[in-house]
Chain A
Amino acid sequence: MASCTGETLFVEASRLLVPSTRTPVMDAKAVERAIARMARELIEMNAGAAELMLMGIHRRGVQLAHLLQAEIERAEGLTVPLGTLDITLYRDDLMAIGPRPVIGESKLPPGGIDDQVVVIVDDVLFTGRTARAALNELMDWGRPARIYLCVLVDRGGRELPIRPDIVGKSIETMPNQAVEVLVPELDGELAVHVVTVPPEAA
């Protein structure tokens, strides 16, 4: 997920100060359509689903990876391996933030990632710092044949030279906005919202 301090700060500030506005930008249907297209793009890019492996980034990238996996199975009749990645220990701001984040599970598919086509799946791409951490962690796991970056929402605002390979939806955002991807397992619905904090509060 787009776990950058900037975004966290805005959301927390919004809870404390002024009521923020929440605008739905994708409903469940729209997310499902985007996922279906992303799965097709992935299969096309890779010329099939063989050697593909999905790595969902905690937390909401994991649920999205499961949706992608189901979609790929529907199209190709093949269940691609799925792993999870928690990038907490690779964050570049770990010493700057106060209390320690809860670490989720990093779980590699049984075969490992050597010589596989690894697809990093995340909910929102923002600064690129999460993707950078994920790349470093994957390199410590092994040597994939190649790595794709696949995100549901690209909200711009990159701080590192990182670009996604597959994007569900690009959204122009302001610094005082946060993009929240909601998934049924954690939030009770599948949707994408943009949360705006009034500039005076931010």
Chain B
Amino acid sequence: MTRTAPSLGKDLVGLERLEPDQISTILDTAEPFKEISERRIKKVPVLRGKTIVNLFFEPSTRTRVSFEFAEKRLSADTVNISSSGSSVVKGETLVDTARNLEAMKIDMVVMRHGSSGAASFLADRIPSSVVNAGDGGHEHPTQALLDMLTIRDTLGRISGIKVCLVGDILHSRVARSNIFGLLKLGAEVAVCGPRTLLPRGVEELGVSVFGRIEDAIEWADVLNVLRLQFERMKAGYVPSLREYNRVWGVSSARLDAAPKDLVILHPGPMNRGVEIDSDVADGPHSVILNQVTNGVAIRMAVLYLLAGGVPEAAEAAKGGGES
């Protein structure tokens, strides 16, 4: 008879709260969704009649477009709201914005917000499902999921694979979500970057730390090269971009010295010539565009799984949390 997947609950806030089998479920569910984007008619009727609001308080192209494609390919109706040009600039609070949307009978909110914890805050206060599309320095679960799917596609498994996150770990919600997710699925995880860009006590998350990019490259099977997030850097974390590239940049010269071929990931947008050189980004071991393709499938999987929902949780959220 029909086999059912384990429930994700009402929301997807982060990977820290998920069980390994829930993460595996999302990855497995993404597999059949890949094929839908290859069809001539790239649409299935599974979310027909569902309304999804994409609420983006921070600029985003890739993630927003990826979510929007995922929603449209599942036949959901979508509305995009960005902070500029909305009542947010008039001083409306997050909860008021969301409650007004709720009053227009929506089913899901996909939100990106500059504050850590914003997704969880909202999820506790509205009955609609909330999908975190990045909240401050906290988590970006769908990015980590698509990274993991890409690793699994390329190497056949995640368990036992050595993944090193390189660069700006401090400002990176992508790094946090990757660390939680990869460790839960049995990968070995390391971080590598200038001390100023590593969070204090990062070892406590269960990752090892490399002080030299050469050592990381020698150890790892996969490098996930993170973007230097200039927009979040309020102090001088790195002396200069040229120096950063010279000491920490992932170049083909450095990769050629490695004992084996590495799989290269980057969540984008890339600063070419800073954290990653163009010949690496466009090289044979780069799976950066596979990540983008997988992003749509992962988001379709997440929306599909959440739309099944758990009515009890939605009921509970309606009553709770006065702001």
| A binding-site residues for B, Cβ under 8 Å | 1, 3, 7-8, 11-12, 86, 89-90, 94-95, 97-107, 136-137, 140-142
Contact = CB atoms under 8 A, between A and B. Distances in A.
A42 B60 CA distance: 54
Nearest to A142: B40
B7 A99 contact: yes
Nearest to A2: B1
Contact of B4 (A11, A101, A137): A101
A187 B45 CA distance: 32
B5 A86 contact: no
B45 A89 contact: yes
A14 B31 CA distance: 33
Given A8-B1, A8-B2, A106-B35, A99 B45 contact: no
A95 B306 CA distance: 11
B305 interface: yes
A142 B28 CA distance: 26
Contacts of B6: 99
Interface of B: 1-7, 28-29, 31-33, 35-36, 39-41, 43-46, 304-305, 307-308, 310
A90 B4 contact: no
6 contacts: A89-B304, A98-B4, A99-B5, A100-B29, A106-B35, A141-B40
A56 to B, nearest CB: 15
Given A99-B308, A142-B40, A86 B32 contact: yes
B1 A100 contact: no
A89 B41 CA distance: 14
B35 A107 contact: yes
B1 A102 contact: no
B46 A89 contact: yes
Contacts of A100: 4-5, 7, 29, 304-305, 307-308
A1 B6 CA distance: 22
Contact of A140 (B28, B32, B41, B307): B41
A144 B280 CA distance: 45
Given A105-B31, A105-B32, A99 B4 contact: yes
B46 A102 contact: no
Given A100-B307, A107-B35, 6 more contacts: A7-B1, A102-B3, A102-B4, A140-B41, A140-B43, A141-B40
Which of B31, B304, B305: most chain A Cβ within 10 A?
B304
A103 B29 contact: yes
